[in-house]
Amino acid sequence: MIKIKKRKILLLPGDGIGPEVIEEVKKIINWLNKNKSLDFEIDEDLAGGCSYDKHGTPITDEVFYKALESEAVMLGAVGGPKWDNLDFSKKPERALLKLRKELKLFANLRPAICFKQLVDASTLKPEIVSGLDIMIVRELTGGIYFGEPRGIKPIDNGERKGINTHTYTSSEIIRVAKVAFDLAKKRSNKVTSCEKSNVMEAGQLWREEVQTLHDKEYKDIELNHMLADNCAMQLLRNPKQFDVIVTDNLFGDMLSDQASMLTGSLGLLPSASLGAKNKDGKMRAMYEPIHGSAPDIAGTGAANPIATILSFGMALKYSLDMDKEAQNLENAVQTVLDDGLRTKDIMSKGNKEVTTSQMGDAIISKLK
């Protein structure tokens, strides 16, 4: 049984702009503690390249156990060119992948919402993206990211072979599909399941299991199957046809980056990675912006903290049972955008450009 002490939040700022955006969340947690008499206990530690620099490993056992015992983990971002040439097992990304895999965070929720104030920040026509509200549910602990065998091995003629394996079992597919169907119930009752069943057996199994589950338990929900390449195209052609999209680890990685640009900037999109619920309805969870560590802008104050702040909003909602505070935070973000404040990535004529920390402060000033 998972035994979780109350309201322990572990911050793992990571690399690049990670520390800058997590700093803004820290301010918000402190604000909530002070003004709402809450008792969030924050701990902060290293994960990613910064951990490698100090300890020679992207995540120490100690930090991993802290994550196990936290009610929610907030991660900034990991990685950067500095660590590009490290052995695979030492790369910053391993910290993230280990947390996902070992905490069994199999369902990754990536909402793509186009804020009305930012319709013009998208590269797509306003009528295509205005009012957009999609939820991508990405399988996060299986597929080609973790499949065995994997590696690089020498073969004949001095050549080498790179190997990765794409596998899914029925239960891995069913548990993530359930998350998607349950979410759809609270939204527009529509799920699109994406795979490549035309070329991959694992994709064929995916399609069959999702359909069988649907026919057994979720008949009232509209289910469509779509090949992942077609989905990529449809996301640009007519994104508003989608409500919930459920897909595997690799396709989910790519489709969610693509969906993010419908909303104007990678800097806006939060995510939640959730494990299975225990008897008390609690689950392990990690929250992070979907953007990366953006080393090119690290330290310049140009990072957009909104994705990370909204990720904390998802933590309030999914882990901490604080829907009202989550709404409060979302409203504050909206109000600041209404006021015309913009970080560099979403700046447009007639608005006021602010730094990462000015954006965080402005959002806090609108909290009720």
Stretch that binds Mg ion, among 211-219, 248-256, 304-312, 337-345 (CB under 5 A): 248-256
55, 46 in Cβ contact below 8 A? yes
Residue 253 as a binder of Mg ion (CB under 5 A): the answer is: yes
141, 300 in Cβ contact below 8 A? no
Binds ligand IPM by CB under 6 A, chosen from 17, 96, 118, 262: 96
Distance CA 141, CA 70 (A): 20
b/e map 138-162, b = 16+ CB within 10 Å: bbbbbbbbbbeeeeeeeeeeeeeee
Residue 41 as a binder of ligand IPM (CB under 6 A): the answer is: no
12, 75 in Cβ contact below 8 A? yes
Nearest CA-CA partner of 207 in 170, 234, 237: 170
One character per residue 53-82, x = contact with ligand IPM (rule: CB under 6 A): --------------------------x---
Q: Catalytic residue numbers?
A: 145, 196, 229, 253, 257
CB closer to Mg ion out of 195 and 253 = 253
Residue 133 as a binder of ligand IPM (CB under 6 A): the answer is: no
Binds ligand IPM by CB under 6 A, chosen from 23, 24, 139, 253: 253
Read off the tokens for 23. Answer: 């700093």
Residue 102 as a binder of ligand IPM (CB under 6 A): the answer is: no
Contacts of 324 (CB under 8 A, 6+ apart): none
14, 82 in Cβ contact below 8 A? no
CB closer to Mg ion out of 249 and 319 = 249
105, 65 in Cβ contact below 8 A? no
Query: What is the size of the binding site for Mg ion (CB under 5 A)?
Result: 1
Residue 93 as a binder of ligand IPM (CB under 6 A): the answer is: yes
CB closer to ligand IPM out of 172 and 253 = 253
Query: CB of residue 240 vs Mg ion: minimum separation in angstroms?
Result: 23
Residues near ligand IPM (CB under 6 A) are 79, 93, 96, 253, 290, 292
Residues near Mg ion (CB under 5 A) are 253
